[in-house]
Amino acid sequence: MKVLPTKFANLVRRPNGTYYARCKIRQRTVWKSLRVNAENKARVLLPDALKKMRGVPVPKGNELPGNASFRQVMEVYKRRMAEDCAKKERAPRTLETKLRSERLFLRTWGALLDVRVRSRFVG
């Protein structure tokens, strides 16, 4: 889609004059038409459109203690992946693919499950 830049972040215009909100969500560019041809109206509509496009923000709370074991980190990862699949944010096949590496890890590096992970890597 050919777009013309504007002087405002996340706001672009097509040659026909329609303004669009544009942002990146999970490394993918997402577009939403604001259905207006005037820049001042588009600027007013942009913040609400971006909030709807981005959805609910991800909580930044740390679910693990600072001295969590690798086993605990893996459990949180598996739970988050399962929740994403349940919410239809990821395809069920994605869960199988992501957990394939867990089986390989357990087979080759199983002794590391009880090793403590440094706090800066947790969360």
19-57, pLDDT tens digit by residue? 999 999 878 889 999 999 999 999 999 999 998 888 855
Please calculate the CA angle 3-89-46 and round it to the nearest 5 degrees. Answer: 35
Residue listed under structure tokens 């909100």? 21
Average pLDDT, the chain: 84
Q: In 3D, which of 113, 30, 37, 15 has the Cα closest to residue 71?
A: 113
pTM of model > 0.75: no
59, pLDDT greater than 80: no
pLDDT band at 84 (very low <50, low <70, confident <90, very high): confident
pLDDT at 122: 45
What H or E segment, with its residue span, contains residue 85? helix 70-86
pLDDT at 46: 94
pLDDT at 27: 83
Torsion of CA 61, 65, 67, 70, to 10 degrees: -80
pLDDT at 121: 47
Domain boundaries, the chain: 4-54, 70-121
Provide the greatest CA pair distance for the chain. 62
pLDDT at 11: 96
